[in-house]
Each structure stands twice: as C-alpha cells, then as structure tokens.
Amino acid sequence: MPIQFFPESKVFKLDTKTTSYVMQVGQYDYLLHLYYGALIPDAELGYLAYTCGHGAHFPCVEMSNAEIPYFSKSLHRMEYSCNGCGDFRPSALSILRSTGTADTDIQYVSHKIYAGKPKIAGQPATYATEDEATTLEVLCKDHVSGAEVTLFYTVFEIYGAMTRHASVRNASDKAMDLKSVLSTCVDFHDATDMDFIHLYGSACKERLFERAPLIHGTQSVFSKRGYSSHIHNPFIALCSHDATEESGDAYGFNLVYTGNFLASADMDSDGGGRVLMGINPEGFSWHLEPGESFTSPEAVMVYSNEGLGGMSRIFHRLYRNNLCRGAWKNKKRPILINNWEATYFKFDEEKLYDIAKAASQLGIEMLVMDDGWFGTRNSSRSALGDWFVNEEKLKGGLGKLVERVNGLGMKFGIWFEPEMVSRDSDLFRAHPEWALQTPGRPMSISRHQYTLDMSRADVRDYLFDCIKKVMDSANIAYIKWDFNRTLTEVGSALLGPDKQQEVFHRYVLGLYELLERLLTAYPELLLEGCASGGGRFDPAWLYYSPQFWASDDTDAIERLDIQYGTSMCYPTSTVGAHVSAVPNHQVGRTTPLKTRGDVAMAGTFGYELDLTVLTDEEKEIVKAQCADYHKYYDVIHYGDLYRLISPWKDRTRCAWMYVSEDKSEAHVTYVVIRKRVHERHFVRLAGLDPSKRYLNEQTGQVLSGKTWMNAGMCVQGGPNDFTSFTFHLVAVD
C-alpha cells in the first residue's frame, strides 16, 4: 500500500517506488512531520518526534492531564504550520477571526485513504487513475475559530512524486478571512547541508539557474505581478551540497498556479529547515462566510537521490503523462513557422502566403500568424480587444488565407492576447470599466495596454465569443495565447471593498475558466502559451497548453541558459523553441544555422524568420532539420533527459542527451560556446545501458554503454565559437 496508517503509533507513511514521506499524529493531536526522503522500510518512526524542554523562548501548550504536560511547537517539525500560537517560523496558515485576531492552531481530527486523486474544482492539477495514485486526506480543526482544514496528499507511486494542497472550510457561525493558505509546508530536521536552487530572470532571459548554500533565515522567491512571471519561476529545489546531476539528494517543489506565488526555504537557528509554497499572502485575503470553503492550488514535490538530473526526469515524466492533457498530449507537434520575427506588424496575406509556400517546400507543417491581424493593429499602440480581422491586411478575409495555406498542405495557427485591452481600442472606449483599476488612482500603462478584469463573467463571455467567431470562420488548428503586461491597480469594478483583496486570485480562476471553456469547445485545438516570451511558463499553463513559448530571446547561445534552467522541471515536449534569423534580433549574435536548429530541437521546434530569403544552401539545411525532427522526435520528446555539461560551468560549452526509455537509442547535442585552442573534449555520456553496445551513427564507432559513460565521447572542437555537434547512438545488441 503506498499510503499506510499505523494506529498504534499514529504514524502515516506515504511511499512511492523510491521515496517515503512520514508524519505522525503527535501530542495533543498536533500533526508532526517526521521524514521525507529516500524509501525506508516500514517502521515506527515516532522517535523522530522528540519532545523537549520549554521555557521563556518556547511557549508551550499546557495540558495538565497529559503524560508530558508541555508541547512547544517551535521545537517540532510541524506538518502544516500555523500563525500566532507558538510556531515562530514562517506559517502556511493564518486566519483572521471575527475577533480581529489572527491566531490559528489546527489539530488532527480524522483521515481517509483512497485510490486515485480528486480533482480540484476550477483549478489545474495533476491527474491520475486509481491505479496510478493514492490519496490521503487529513481533516484538522481549529477548535477555537471553527476552521476545518483538510490537507490533501497524493502519491504517484511510480514516479517518486507527490502532490499536496489544502482546503479550509468555515465550520463556525461567524465570518472569517483567510490571510494565508499555502499549498505545502515541509519541515526538515537538518537543513545545514543544503543548497537552495531557483530560476530567476526577466523578459528575454527567463529561468536562469542559481544555486547557493541555504543560510540561516529565509530565502524566498515570489511574484506579486499577477502572473507567475519572468522574474522568478514557481519552482525551488533543495539539494545536498554534494549533489551533482546524477547523485545526491534533490528535493524539487513546483506550484501549479499561474498567479502570485511565494516559495521559500527557511533555516532556523538550530539548523532545521522549512519549505513553504503557495499563493503569495501579500495581496491576498479570502473572505469565508459560515459554511463556505476555499481550496489552495496544488504543489508538486519530487525527491530523488539521483541528483538534479534524477529530480528533473521525475518532473518530466509526471508532467508529460499526468499534467498535460488533451488531443496533443502525446501527439507529434507540427513544425511551425511563425511570422513575428520575419515581419513584425508589417504583413499582408500575400506575404504570409509566400512564407507559407516557402515553408511547405521545406517540410514545415504549420503557419502561425502572429500579432497584427486584427482591428487597427499596426503597432503595439492599439486594438487589443478588437478581435476582428483587418481585411485591409488580409484581403478576402481570414477564411481565404487559411484555405490557401491549407491548400499547401499546411495547418494554420493564430495569435491572440485575450486578457488585454489597448487604451486605443473600440473595446476600451466602450467598456473602460472592464479594465482592472482602483478607485481614484490613475491606471498604470504598459505596452500601451491595460489588463482586462478576468474575474468578470461578462468580460470572459465577450472574449469567448470573439475567439469563437474567429475559430468558426476558418480551419484554425492552433492558438498562441499571449500576455504582455504586469498587473497593477488590481481592483474590480464589480466587487465590494470586502472582496478587493480577492481579485488577484479571482483573476486567475477566471482565466482558468475561460481556457477550459475554449478547450471544451475546441478539443482538437493546440494551444501554446506565451507571456512576452516565457513569463508564464508554469505547470498551471501546461494543464491547458502542452507547449509554452520559452523566451522572446531566440539566440541559440542565450537559449542554452534559458533551456537549461527550464529543464529543471519542465519537459522538452513543452518548451517552445524556434530557429530565427542572424544576426539575432535580440542580442545581435551570429550563429550557424545548424546550431540554431540543434538548440531549437530540444523543444517543440519551429522557425521564426523570413523563409522567402533563404539561400539554396540554407534551404537544404532546413530540409535536413525538418527530417531530423521527425527522425529523432520520439527519443527527444519521450526519452529521458541527461544534462551532461551545464552552460554555466565555465561558459565554454554545453551538452545534453536524451535516452529512450528502453535504452535502445540516444541523442547527444554538444555546443561550443567559446572555442579554445586544441579543443578536444571527452564528454561522459549518461543514462545508457552499461551492458549494451551502441553505434554512433555519425562516426561509425561502436562502444559499450560503459565506455561511452565512463571514458566519454570524444568531441573535437569545431572550427569556431558556436559550432554544434549531434550524435545519434543506437544499441547494436
């Protein structure tokens, strides 16, 4: 049984194939955290819940009739920490009572264990059949405020992954306000040997990897921008100081939420650790009348003792199989050509058709028409919200263009930025109250646009109808759903003062509702998320769109850093990556077309340049890349990723490989970032079957998996900086 309860010791043990998570109903029914890490045998682990002294600095719960009359929360590892009653570390739960005080304290009441995984109504989450996962619900209660708190734990037995979320029901007869309801709280007995990893960035340099020792105090990453954002990803990891790509302890935490989040790791003065993750309490409050409840988003937790690589591979499998869904989940994605960097706003139907025609001759399968096809949109200054085809640009309308593109044997995709409204738009002139705003304060402008109030049903209905009209007018296979500004002055004209602190979260719930509605109406639609590049690359989006445009920086060398960080938890099949023109539009660098292709191949793959101006030689390279995409698709998209050389290591090279699940083939990519004299490098491969022999299709060499992994593959430096190499290995016995 993946989840067991031992009644005598009141210990819960939650196991996957490789991990154990243990907690106990302790003294006075407080839920204590005992252990999270590599699988351990069934045993009574009560000894981990030590009870120790009390005194001026450790206020205690006192129960005169108890065997041990004192219990200090701040000296224990608590399962779900509460505010104001003796646990002085950061709290997961804080509830403002009708008394005006925010003292919160929960104790165990009951639990249930069942096969499968419940849905979280109205929110994205991982999903599972009854064979794939087992769930534990622990009901706790604050006996003073009357709040009932249910902690949900699901273990995915085969993955070494588990998920958590919490829900709070007001079971009292007075209103209460939730100030903080985080999704997970994990205490560690000893965090002195740990590094803190997170992914930071900004537009055009998203998810950059950073690792530093955890120090005393709290280290956190967060968003208060209304979306998960470029600045920090809702992902953190703790790993042992000695953890490498392939060995050592690695704990990964990722929030299935696309709004304001907080992810923190705290080390107390005794070296104990606490990880918290959930909706950012700053800017959040949720009002509960008697009988009402609130449910947090889900946090995904992964542990591996096979280092960061092991951790990432668990995330990848879980997300590919149990988070992404719909028609495109495991279907080969079309190679696309997007016209953005080819034309920006300057295009008409003939230009698009010419690009599509050139693309169709090279093996590209879908044309995506980016920003600029609607209203009076000729620059970023106007027309967001006016989702009506601009027939001056697209003469004959959308239907005609799509038909012509389809006639070339290509699919057609289209860009929207539904959540936004330009100041200069018919929509804003008609409905200024539909934009987020607060009374009496000027609205901040960004990219000449405001944000629509997605908490409003009328706004969502308008957007759905607009998108539906476009979808029904032509054969559209794909939508790029963009989002290009940060939320400010977050207030809703429809809600009273007591609900304004809910708007950030209501916005996110409204967005989820619209996405769900769209996918229900168009189940075959391939949705790609985008937010000024990869500003919203988070697991919540992957529930709706199985691919996300990773960054507006399309330079192959910059992409090494971006895609390396992204791969910490997000699978290759979700990473939007395109080949673009040189000199690169973002950084001005010139890299070989081969390298641009090899790097974009570690993603959903496509092109973003004017194909009508390619030389014959370039056309041949593109044709070969498209053929390779199909040839290596399975191993790259369904295989296991092994990061061989980090681009951060010494900034001279980067390498990674994919190995098919049955270890019968592998695909290696090696990029020279900065060439050095006499470059001759042995890169040690990983993940192969040591007992199998593999043929390197490029060199003809046949060596055992053991040799490839221990002695390495020799890569002779390329002629220049930015050269790349790919090698395909197939098992020969």
Contact 663, 731 (CB under 8 A): yes
**Which of residues 253 and 340 has its CB atom nearest to ligand GLA in the complex?**
340
Cβ proximity to ligand GLA: between 163 and 532 the closer is 532
Site for ligand GLA in 552-611 (CB under 6 A): 552
Residues between 312 and 341 that touch ligand GLA (CB under 6 A): 340
The verdict on 415 binding ligand GLA (CB under 6 A) reads yes
Which CB sits closer to ligand GLA, 230 or 411? 230
Closer CB to ligand GLA, 552 or 558, in the complex: 552
Tell me the β-bridge partners of 451: 420
Q: Residue 538's closest CA among 560, 570, 565?
A: 570
**Structure tokens that stand for 392 in this block:** 């001056």
* Contact pick of 16, 390, 484, 572 for ligand GLA (by CB under 6 A): 484
Identified binder of ligand GLA from the candidate list 265, 410, 414, 530, rule CB under 6 A = 530
Residue 217 sits at the vertex; the CA angle it makes with 213 and 222, to the nearest 5 degrees, is 85
Tell me which stretch binds ligand GLA (CB under 6 A): 271-279, 529-537, 617-625, 638-646. Answer: 529-537
Q: How far is the CB of 517 from ligand GLA (least distance, A)?
A: 23
Complex with ligand GLA: residue 400 or 447, whichever CB lies closer: 447
Torsion-angle region of 355 (φ positive above 0: left; ψ -120 to 50: alpha; else: beta): alpha
Q: How many residues bind ligand GLA (CB under 6 A)?
A: 11
* Nearest Cα residue to 92 out of 178, 196, 214, 162: 178
Q: Taking CA 639 as the corner, what is the angle to CA 689 and CA 159, rounded to the nearest 5 degrees?
A: 90
CB–CB of 423/450 below 8 Å?
A: yes
32 versus 383: smaller Cβ distance to ligand GLA: 383
How distant, in Å, are the alpha carbons of 279, 304, 616 from that of 184?
Answer: 10, 18, 55
Q: What's the min distance (Å) between Cβ of 117 and ligand GLA? A: 33
Has 498 been annotated as catalytic?
no
Please report, as residue ranges, which positions from 151 to 210 form the binding site for ligand GLA (by CB under 6 A): none
Nearer residue to ligand GLA within complex by CB, 534 or 565: 534
Residue whose CB is less far from ligand GLA, 544 or 725: 544
Q: Which is nearer to ligand GLA, 533 or 571 (CB)?
A: 533
Structure tokens at 55: 């005194």
Closest approach, Cβ 515 to ligand GLA, in A, equals 18
C-beta closer to ligand GLA: residue 142 or 561: 561
Question: Interface with ligand GLA by CB under 6 A: which range of 11-19, 267-275, 497-505, 526-534?
Answer: 526-534
Beta partners for 35?
Answer: 22
Judge contact between 480 and 530, C-beta under 8 A: yes
State the nearest-atom distance from the C-beta of 672 to ligand GLA, in Å. Answer: 28
Of 230 and 232, which has the nearer Cβ to ligand GLA? 230
- Minimum CB–partner distance for residue 203 and ligand GLA (Å): 8
371 binds ligand GLA (CB under 6 A): yes
Q: How many residues make up the chain in this entry?
A: 733
Task: Provide the residue type at 643 as one letter.
Answer: R
DSSP state of 601: T
User: Residues 268, 482, 538, 721: which is the catalytic one?
Assistant: 482
- 429 with 454: CB under 8 angstroms? no
Nearest distance from residue 483's CB to ligand GLA, in Å?
9
Q: Answer yes or no: 187 catalytic.
A: no
Find the shortest distance in angstroms from Cβ 167 to ligand GLA: 35
- Quick one: CA dihedral 598, 603, 604, 607, positive or negative? negative
Residue 44 in tokens: 């009574």
Q: Which of 15, 306, 419, 482 binds ligand GLA (CB under 6 A)?
A: 482
Here the tokens at position 208 are: 């950059």
Name the one range near ligand GLA by CB under 6 A: 283-291, 352-360, 437-445, 530-538: 530-538
For the bound state, the minimum distance from the C-beta of residue 45 to ligand GLA, rounded and expressed in Å, comes to 49
Using CB under 6 A as the criterion, what x/- string covers residues 424-443 for binding ligand GLA? --------------------
CA distances from 595 to 152, 581, 585, 685, 722 (A): 46, 12, 16, 20, 7
Among the listed residues 142, 195, 538, 552, the single catalytic one is 552
Does 80 engage in binding with ligand GLA (CB under 6 A)? no
How does DSSP assign 99-159, residue by residue? Answer: TS------EEEEEEEEES----TTS------TTTEEEEEEEEE-TTT-EEEEEEEEEETTT
- Distance of CA 137 to CAs 49, 134, 164, 667, Å? 21, 10, 10, 42
Residue 546 beta carbon to ligand GLA: minimum distance, rounded to whole angstroms: 18
SS3 content of the chain, % helix, strand, coil (to 5): 20, 35, 45
Which residue's beta carbon is nearest to the bound ligand GLA?
371
Q: Does position 382 bind ligand GLA by CB under 6 A?
A: no
Can you tell me the distance from the alpha carbon of 1 to that of 649, in angstroms, rounded to the nearest whole number? 42
Distance in angstroms (rounded) separating the CA atoms of residues 313 and 570: 9
Question: How many C-beta neighbours within 10 Å does residue 693 have?
Answer: 18
Work out whether 370 is an interface residue with ligand GLA (CB under 6 A): yes
Q: Give the integer Cα–Cα distance in Å for 217 and 689.
A: 43
Cβ at position 577, least distance to ligand GLA in Å? 12
* CA angle at 502 for the pair 497 and 506, rounded to the nearest 5°: 125
β-bridge pairing 578-580 and 606-608: parallel
- Kindly report the number of other CB atoms within 10 A of residue 115's CB atom: 15
What's the closest the beta carbon of residue 587 comes to ligand GLA, in angstroms?
Answer: 16
The residues of the shown chain that bind ligand GLA, judged by CB under 6 A, are 340, 370-371, 415, 482, 484, 530, 532-533, 549, 552
Show which residues are catalytic: 482, 552
